[in-house]
Structure 1
Amino acid sequence: MKILNGLSQVRLLPEKKQQHFERFYHAQVKYRLLPLFADLSLLVTILGTLLFIFSLSRQADTNVHFLTYVYTGILVGLALLHRFTRLRYASPLIVYIVFSLMSLFSYLGYIDAAGGVVPIFGLHFFLSSLGFITLSLFHTLVIIALNLVLLVLATRLAVTPGEVAGAIASVLSNWFIAMCLMIAPLSAIFNRWFFRNLFALQYLLKDRNKLLTATFQSLQETEDKLIQQQKQQALSHMAKGLLHEIMNPVNCSTQALQYARSINRDEEIGEALDDAILHQSRIADIVSDLIEFSQPKPDHDMEQADVRELINTAIRICRNELRGVEVRVSLADNLSVSCYPSALTQVFVNLMLNASSALEGKPVNQAAMIDISSEQGTDSLNIRIRDNGRGIESNDIRRLTEPFYSTKDTPNSLGLGLSICQTIMRHHHGSIKIDSEHGVWTEVVLSLPLRSTVEAKSDIGLSG
C-alpha cells in the first residue's frame, strides 16, 4: 500500500472536484505554507549571521566589518516587512529579494578574498533550501542560474583573466557547494510531490467528512419522517375507532337539532340552533379529517370552490374565538381553486384558531389583527394568513407540523392542528410554510395549485 497516494485518489474524482482541489492546493500553499517557510528561512539566515558576527567578535585579531551589521539590519527589516505587510503573500518575491541581498554581500566578500570559497558558503547553503522554500522547480532553477551568472562575474573581478576558468571550476568542484546546487532542484521536486499528496489527503478527508455529515443529516431526517409516519398510523387507527364511537351520537344530536330548527319560529333561538348544527357538522368533519390524516388521498374527488367563501365560513365558525380581533381579508374576486372544500375550510379554521390563541394577552392599546391576503401566480395560488401575536421561537417552527407537538401548555392542545393542515395540503398537492419573528408576528403561507394534478397530466399528454 502506498504511504502517500492522495493524488492518485484525486484523479479518480470528477473533473469539477479535481479543479476544486487545485484551487484548494494553491490557496493552502500561497496563504499558509510558503509564508511559513519564508519566515523560517529568514529566521535561520538571521541567526546564522548573528552567530557569524559572534564568532568574529571572539577573535582578538579580527574586526567585524560595518557592512556586516548593515546586512544584518536589512535582513531583520525584511523579516518584519514579510511578517506584517502584503509581501507575506507575494511569494516567491521575498525569496528573490533575500537571494539578491545575500548574493551581493557574499560575492563582495568573495571578491575581497580573491576567489576564496568561504564567503559564499552561506549563500549556497541558502540555495540548498530553495526547493523547500519555493516548492517550485522553475524558480529554483532560475535562482541557481542567476547565481552562476553572478559567480562568473564576481570571479572575473576577483582573479586575473587567465585564472577565471580554473577559479570557477574550483568553486563548483567544492563538495559542499556541489551538494547544495544538487540538493536544491531535487528537494523542489520531492517537496512539491510530498505536499501535493499531503494536501490531497487533507482535501479527501474534508470531502469525506462533508459526505458523512450530509449522510448523517439525511438519516436523521429519514428517522424523523419514519417517526412521524408511525404517529400518523397510530392516529389513523385511533381515529377509525373514534369515528364509530362519536359519529352515532353526533348524527343523532344533529337530527334532533335539525328537527328543532324546523319547528322553531323564534328568530333568536333559530340562530342558536343554526350555530349548534354548524358546530355539530364541524365535529363530524374533524373526525372525518382524522381518518383522512394518514391516507394517501381522500376517497372523494376534488371540486371547484370559491376561496373567499371558504374563508368566510371559517371566520363564522371561529367567531367566538375571534372576538376583539380585527380580521382583514384582501382577496381577488372570483378566486376559486380545485380542492376538497370541507378539508380546506378545516385548514383555515385551524390557522385562525392558532392566530387567535397567539393574540391572547395582547395589550389593550395594541390592536389584535389577522390579515388574510392572496397572491396568484401562473399555476399556483398563495394564501397568506398573518397575525401580530406573540410569534414563535425559531427552534419550534420546524417541529410545528409534527403530530402531537404543541407549543401550548394546555391539556386541550393535542398538537394535531398543523399536522392535519400539512396532510390536507399534501392531499391538495400544495404546501404550507410557516415564518415568524418571536414577539412580533407569525405568517403562514398556503400554496395551492390552480389546476389539479389530473388536469396537469392531461395537458402534458395532449402537448406530447
Structure 2
Amino acid sequence: MTLLSGMDQVRQLPAHQQRRYERFYRSQSRFRVLPLFADVSLGITFIGTLIFLSGLALSPTAPGISGTHLFYTAVLAGLIAAHRFTGLRRASPLIVYLVFFHMALFSYLGYIVTSASLPPIVGLLLFISSVGIITLSMVHTIIILVINLGLLTVATALAVPASDFGSALTAILTNWLVLMCLLIAPVSAHFFRMFLRNLLALQFLLKDRNRKLSRTLHALEITEGRLAQEQKHQALSHMAKGLLHEIMNPLNCASQAVDYASAINRNSDLSEALDDAALHQKRIADIVSDLIDFSRPEPDHDIETADLGALFETALRLCKHQLRGTDVRLGIPANMSVACYPSALTQVFVNLLLNSASALEKGRASRRIDITATPKAENLTIGIRDNGHGIAPEDIKRLTDPFYSTNRTPDNLGLGLSICQTIMRHHNGQMEICSEPGEWTEVILTLPQSPH
C-alpha cells in the first residue's frame, strides 16, 4: 500500500535523519494532530449529549431533564472550553482522562440506579471506542479499558444482589455492543497510529526533498551566473587575441619610430622623454600579451630566474603616477631571485599596487604601502600591505571572480585580481587576501623558490 510506505522510506534514511523524523513526528502529533482529534471527539460527544437532552425534553414518556443532566452538560462544556483555550490543549492525553472520568461517574451512577441496565453506559462505551483514535496510544487505550472494566465490576456489584453478580457482569461483557466498543479501541489505536506515522513520514520526506530541490535550484542559479561570467571571460579572451593583432602592428611601428628618434637624438632632455615613451609602449604590449596568456591554460614560454627587487622596481616605475604622494617602503633583500615568468609576475605586482593606490584615501595624513619578501623553506612569501579603507569580509570571497570589483567606476572591468590569481596558478603559487575594514589590506603571494 503506497500510503503506508512512508516509514519504509524513512528507515532507509541515515540515522540522523531518522532521529530528525522522530522529533518531527512527536512535535506534529502532540501540538497539531492530537489536539485536533480531541476537539472532534469532544464536539461529537457534546452534540450527542444535546441530542439526548432533546429526546428527554420532547418525549412524553421520558422523566424529563433533571438538574443532574444540566450539571453533567455544563461540566462537559467547561472541559471543552478549557481544552480549547488553556494549556490543557498541550497536555495530551489529560483531557481524555478527564472526560472519561466525568462520563464514567454519571454513566455508572445511572447504571447502578437502573440495576445494571445497559442504556446508561452506552454513551460511555461509544466514547471509549474512540479513545484509540484520540490518543493514538495503545498504552493509554489499555489503561482506560482496564479502569473502565474495574469501574464496571464495582458498579455491577453495587447494582445487583451478590447472588446475581456473576450472571449480570457476564451478560454485560458478552453484549455485542460492549464487545465491539472494547475491541475497536485498541485496534483503532494501532491502525491510526501506524497510519499517522506513515502520513507524517511522507510529509517529512516531501519537505526534505523540497529543501534539497531548493538548494539544488540555488546551486543551479549560482552555476548559471558563473557560466555567464565565464562566457564574458571567453569573449574577452577572443577580443584580446584580436586586439593583439590590431594593436601590436601599429605599436611596433611606433616603437621603431621612437627607437630611430632615440638613435639620432642628441638632446639629453628629449632623450629622457623618448625613453619614457618606449617604456610605456612596452607596457601596452605586455598588458595585451598578459591577456592572451590569461586565456591559455599555461604560458607558452619557460620559467626564468629573475631578480625580485628589479621586478618591483619596474612595477613601481609603471605605477609612478598613481602612487604619487604615497610612502612606498620596499623591504626586499638585495639579490633575491625568484623562478617566474617575469612579465606576468610584474603584471601581478602592477595590479596589486594599483589596487592599493585606489584603496588609499586622499584625505589620509599618511598613505603607506609596505612590500616585504620572506623565504620560507621551499617557498617565497611576498606581502603587499596598505593602510587603506580595507575590504568587507563578504567581498573578500569574491574578489578573484571575473568581472567582480568593489570599485564601481565604469573603466574598472573587475579583471585585475582574477588575472593575478590565474598568473599565480601558472607559477604553482597562491594568492591570499587579508583585511581589516577601515584599517588595512594585505595581499600575500606564495611562490616556489625553484621551477616545477
> TM-score, normalised on structure 2?
0.74
> How does 1:41-120 map onto structure 2 within 5 Å?
41-49=41-49, 61-65=64-68, 67-68=71-72, 71-72=75-76, 74-76=78-80, 78-80=82-84, 83-85=85-87, 87-120=88-121
RMSD: 4.9
| 3-state DSSP of counterpart to 1:91 | coil
> How does 1:337-348 map onto structure 2 within 5 Å?
340-348=341-349
The one-letter code sitting in structure 2 at the alignment partner of 1:173 is: T
Residue 214 (structure 2) aligns with: 213
Deviation, structure 1 residue 147: 1.7
> How does 1:263-342 map onto structure 2 within 5 Å?
275-301=276-302, 314-323=315-324, 340-342=341-343
Residue 460 (structure 1) aligns with: none
Residue 234 (structure 2) aligns with: 233
1:427 and 2:426 matched: yes
CA contact (8 A) 2:333 2:373 kept: no
Residue 186 (structure 2) aligns with: 185
How far apart, in 2, do the equivalents of 1:386 and 1:115 lie? 98
CA contact (8 A) 1:106 1:123 kept: yes
CA contact (8 A) 1:242 1:287 kept: yes
How far apart, in 1, do the equivalents of 2:353 and 2:121 lie? 88
| 3-state DSSP of counterpart to 2:39 | helix
| 3-state DSSP of counterpart to 2:116 | coil
Unpaired runs of at least 5, structure 2? none
| 3-state DSSP of counterpart to 2:299 | coil
In the TM superposition, what whole-angstrom CA distance separates every residue of 1:74-109 from its partner, at most 9, and x where no partner exists? 5146314xx443x54443344334434433443344
CA contact (8 A) 1:359 1:368 kept: no
In the TM superposition, what whole-angstrom CA distance separates every residue of 1:195-254 from its partner, at most 9, and x where no partner exists? 222222223323333343344344444444444444433333332333344335545655
The one-letter code sitting in structure 1 at the alignment partner of 2:37 is: F
Worse-matched range after superposition: 228-237 or 52-61: 52-61
1:247 and 2:251 matched: no
CA contact (8 A) 2:430 2:446 kept: no
| Closer/same/farther in 2, CA of residues 270 and 21 from structure 1, 3 Å limit | farther
Worse-matched range after superposition: 442-451 or 34-43: 442-451
| Closer/same/farther in 2, CA of residues 22 and 314 from structure 1, 3 Å limit | farther
CA contact (8 A) 2:37 2:134 kept: yes
Deviation, structure 1 residue 50: 5.3
| Closer/same/farther in 2, CA of residues 69 and 234 from structure 1, 3 Å limit | closer
How far apart, in 1, do the equivalents of 2:310 and 2:11 lie? 63
Residue 462 (structure 1) aligns with: none
Residue 416 (structure 1) aligns with: 415
The one-letter code sitting in structure 2 at the alignment partner of 1:158 is: A
How far apart, in 2, do the equivalents of 1:134 and 1:140 lie? 7
1:28 and 2:31 matched: no
| Closer/same/farther in 2, CA of residues 221 and 77 from structure 1, 3 Å limit | closer
| 3-state DSSP of counterpart to 2:67 | coil
Deviation, structure 1 residue 178: 2.6
Residue 5 (structure 1) aligns with: 5
How far apart, in 2, do the equivalents of 1:54 and 1:435 lie? 83
How far apart, in 2, do the equivalents of 1:261 and 1:84 lie? 101
Deviation, structure 1 residue 33: 1.8
How far apart, in 2, do the equivalents of 1:102 and 1:333 lie? 96
| Closer/same/farther in 2, CA of residues 107 and 443 from structure 1, 3 Å limit | farther
| Closer/same/farther in 2, CA of residues 4 and 283 from structure 1, 3 Å limit | same
1:39 and 2:39 matched: yes
Deviation, structure 1 residue 385: 5.9
How far apart, in 2, do the equivalents of 1:152 and 1:431 lie? 86
In the TM superposition, what whole-angstrom CA distance separates every residue of 1:271-314 from its partner, at most 9, and x where no partner exists? 75665454333322211211111212223455678888866754
Deviation, structure 1 residue 191: 1.3
Residue 173 (structure 1) aligns with: 174
How far apart, in 2, do the equivalents of 1:50 and 1:436 lie? 76
Residue 461 (structure 1) aligns with: none
Q: Give aligned-pair identity as a percent.
A: 48
Worse-matched range after superposition: 162-171 or 296-305: 296-305
CA contact (8 A) 1:304 1:336 kept: yes
Deviation, structure 1 residue 41: 3.3
| 3-state DSSP of counterpart to 1:156 | helix
Worse-matched range after superposition: 349-358 or 181-190: 349-358
1:162 and 2:163 matched: yes
How far apart, in 2, do the equivalents of 1:13 and 1:305 lie? 59
How far apart, in 1, do the equivalents of 2:47 and 2:310 lie? 88
How far apart, in 2, do the equivalents of 1:292 and 1:70 lie? 89
The one-letter code sitting in structure 2 at the alignment partner of 1:31 is: F
CA contact (8 A) 1:435 1:444 kept: yes
> How does 1:378-397 map onto structure 2 within 5 Å?
none
CA contact (8 A) 1:317 1:349 kept: yes
> How does 1:366-377 map onto structure 2 within 5 Å?
none
The one-letter code sitting in structure 1 at the alignment partner of 2:297 is: P
How far apart, in 2, do the equivalents of 1:64 and 1:12 lie? 59
The one-letter code sitting in structure 1 at the alignment partner of 2:298 is: K
| 3-state DSSP of counterpart to 1:171 | helix
Q: Flag the structure with larger Rg.
A: 2
Residue 205 (structure 2) aligns with: 204
| Closer/same/farther in 2, CA of residues 371 and 359 from structure 1, 3 Å limit | closer
